[in-house]
Structure 1
Amino acid sequence: MAIVAASAVVFGSARINSAVASATAATPFDAAAIYSSKCAKCHGRDGRAQSLHAKHVHARDLTAAEWQNDVSDERIFNSISNGKGKMPSFKKSLSENDINSLIPYVRGLRK
């Protein structure tokens, strides 16, 4: 009986931890919403940075194949987290999971 109770506790907590982990991981939909609210103003909805505002702040064209080939995922993460040039830091307003979810989203903008 004690083994059954212990198993229920162990397996039950594993399900809870799994549910918590999946609830905290950003989904592709979340990444699109985050990009729309935090990135699109400067980089554009399509990532091409063609607006007057984008040109004023020298926002990067995220669709450029050369940039996509040269930049590492770590650098994308660090740029979003810490900011770069006129780009602000988002580490206080986005979780690490949110920032990590943006990396494949940005990669998907490639021409």
Structure 2
Amino acid sequence: MKRTMRIILLPLLLFLFATGFSTRHAGDGQALYEHHCVRCHGADGTRGMFGARNLQKSLLPDTAITLQIMNGKRVMPPFKKKLTPDQINELSAYIKTLRKPAI
């Protein structure tokens, strides 16, 4: 019985250490936005501090959003060294959810 428990618990512990006990799940672009972007763009994407664009009115294609997050623009800092490519994609996907349809 003890051997069976070790066989089950050892891989589980190794998995937890390998993932760094991360509670953040993939696809958490909103948390990334709140941490990195909300200060200038606002919670709903309309704030416009320091010349930040209104994200609700943005018409940028997906690749342009990703490039702007990676490289920054004017006052906006680049995030290519702060975020992983997956995080940049998650953030880009979340930013697109802030868009409001044109009337």
Answer yes or no: same fold by TM over 0.5: yes
Identity across matched positions, percent: 41
2: CA distance, partners of 1:100 / 1:26: 10
Aligned length: 78
- What TM-score results when the alignment is normalised by the length of structure 1? 0.64
- What TM-score results when the alignment is normalised by the length of structure 2? 0.69
Which of 76, 84, 88 is the aligned partner of 2:73? 84
Cα deviation for residue 91 of structure 1 reads 0.8
1:46 equivalenced with 2:35 (yes/no): no
**Aligned counterpart, 2:3:** none
In structure 2, the gaps of 5 or more residues are 1-18
The equivalences for 1:14-53 within 5 A come to 26-27=26-27, 30-50=28-48
C-alpha contact 1:31 1:102 (8 A) present in aligned 2: yes
One-letter amino acid of the structure 2 residue matched with residue 38 of structure 1: H
One-letter amino acid of the structure 1 residue matched with residue 84 of structure 2: S
Cα deviation for residue 47 of structure 1 reads 0.6
**Aligned counterpart, 2:56:** 63
Cα deviation for residue 110 of structure 1 reads 0.9
Computed over aligned residues only, the root mean square deviation of the Cα atoms, in angstroms, reads 1.8
One-letter amino acid of the structure 1 residue matched with residue 61 of structure 2: S
2: CA distance, partners of 1:46 / 1:98: 20
One-letter amino acid of the structure 1 residue matched with residue 85 of structure 2: E
Structure ranking higher in helix proportion = 1
SS of residue matched to 1:49: coil
